[in-house]
Amino acid sequence: MGWPVMHSRSPLLHNHWFGKHGLAGTYVPFAIRPEHLAAALRALHPLGFAGCNLTIPHKQQAMTIVDEVDTVGRRIGAISCVVVRPDGSLAGSNNDCYGFIQNLRQSQPGWRADAGPVAVLGAGGGSRAVCYALAQEGAKQIRLVNRTFARAKGIAEEFGGPIEALPWESRHDALDGAAMVVNATSQGMTGQPALDIRLDKLPKSALAADIIYTPLETPFLAAARSRGNRAVNGLGMLLHQGRPAWKAWFGIEPEVTPELRDLLERSLSAQG
Ligand SMILES: NC(=O)c1ccc[n+]([C@@H]2O[C@H](COP(=O)([O-])OP(=O)(O)OC[C@H]3O[C@@H](n4cnc5c(N)ncnc54)[C@H](OP(=O)(O)O)[C@@H]3O)[C@@H](O)[C@H]2O)c1
């Protein structure tokens, strides 16, 4: 459920797994106006759905509608997945953290959150999941930079631990000595200007990650790759967050295979 939702690649992902696991089901996009979200979620049970995923702008509002929210969802302040329980009650969870970390594990074997300072750019919903995940994974220092400083400060105060909020002007210097930099802003997305950042202070050994997957290679990732940094795009985060959803809906843990990545990459490339 999203508004809008027709651009979503989730149906392609989940229907691939339906075919792979021989389940007689289907995953459909529902364009739901925010004012209809409660009624739509409550209709899942009578309509026979196992659950749903939530995307912009529903992730926060849905928390106030479902009957129970897990710890990760409560800490992040947003849910990305709803499970319809046998009695018809609704359980909410956030699988974005899992998706972010598992994507790094799969694409960068040996990756560790505590390898050195991590710079995170952006302090929106995606960033909250990234910061929470990195802190849970043992990151020792997270330099959180956002255009609106108050939002970064809010996350640092709420999550505490290794997160230090820094003003937007310091974003270039925040890369000094970093083991990893994550773009969690919307800058570089199709239709948006490129992220305005200089990479000269970023060590060549650092990993550059973007949570954006349209386009697959943002100008930020392209710049990092061209100077020799390893680069990870946001597609794997989307793919991996689907796995715990399937575990909860059907008791199955589907795989993120090269074939599945290829299917999604071809669909995204065809979009241009
Ligand atoms: N791969 C995945 O599974 C996944 C999951 C979640 C999100 N995403 C992607 O991540 C991106 C961000 O999503 P979101 O939900 O976090 O969005 P959001 O909550 O709207 O946050 C947007 C972020 O971008 C910053 N920003 C916007 N315009 C900017 C500009 N001109 N200069 C500098 N910073 C700017 C905002 O800063 P201010 O606070 O100053 O406005 C904010 O930090 C989207 O492209 C989304 O598709 C991917």
Dist CA 268 CA 4 (whole Å)? 17
The distance of Cα 256 from the centroid of its chain, to the nearest Å, equals 15
Tokens of 84: 């319809």
User: Does 122 sit in the ligand 1 pocket, CB within 6 Å?
Assistant: yes
Q: Where are the alpha helices (DSSP H) in the chain?
A: 10-20, 37-47, 71-76, 96-107, 125-136, 149-159, 219-226, 235-250, 258-271
Taking CA atoms only, the protein residue closest to ligand 1 atom 4 is: 211
The confidence score (pLDDT) of residue 272 equals: 57
Question: Is 59 among the catalytic positions?
Answer: yes
User: Does 98 sit in the ligand 1 pocket, CB within 6 Å?
Assistant: no
Residue 15 CB: number of other CB atoms within 10 A? 14
3 state DSSP class of 146: strand
> Ligand 1 pocket test: which of 121, 186, 214 has the largest number of ligand atoms within 8 Å of its C-beta?
186
User: Does 117 sit in the ligand 1 pocket, CB within 6 Å?
Assistant: no
Domains and CATH numbers, the chain: 10-94 (3.40.50.10860), 97-235 (3.40.50.720)
Instruction: Determine which one of 59, 153, 204, 247 is catalytic.
Output: 59
User: pLDDT tens, position by position, for the chain (272 residues)?
Assistant: 999 999 899 999 999 999 999 999 999 999 999 999 999 999 999 999 999 999 999 999 999 999 999 999 999 999 999 999 999 999 999 999 999 999 999 999 999 999 999 999 999 989 999 999 999 999 999 999 999 999 999 999 999 999 999 999 999 999 999 999 999 999 999 999 999 999 999 999 999 999 999 999 999 999 999 999 999 999 999 999 999 999 999 999 999 999 999 999 999 988 75
3-state secondary structure 203-242: CCCCEEEECCCCCCCCHHHHHHHHCCCEEECCHHHHHHHH
Distance 145 CA to ligand 1 centre (A): 12
Listed residue (86, 45, 44) closest to 54, CA to CA: 44
The confidence score (pLDDT) of residue 41 equals: 98
Dist CA 268 CA 7 (whole Å)? 10
Q: Which atom of ligand 1 is nearest the CA belonging to 126?
A: 16
Residue 55 CB: number of other CB atoms within 10 A? 17
Residue 58 CB: number of other CB atoms within 10 A? 25
User: Does 124 sit in the ligand 1 pocket, CB within 6 Å?
Assistant: yes
Helices 235-250 and 96-107 cross at an angle (nearest 10°) of: 120
pTM, to two decimals: 0.95
Q: Which strand (E) or helix (H) includes residue 91?
A: strand 90-93
Task: List, as own/partner pairs, every contact residues 47-52 make where C-beta atoms lie below 8 angstroms and the sequence separation is at least 24, other chains included.
Answer: 49/84, 50/25, 50/83, 50/84, 50/249, 50/250, 51/81, 51/82, 51/83, 51/84, 51/245, 51/248, 51/249, 52/1, 52/81, 52/82
Distance 20 CA to ligand 1 centre (A): 33
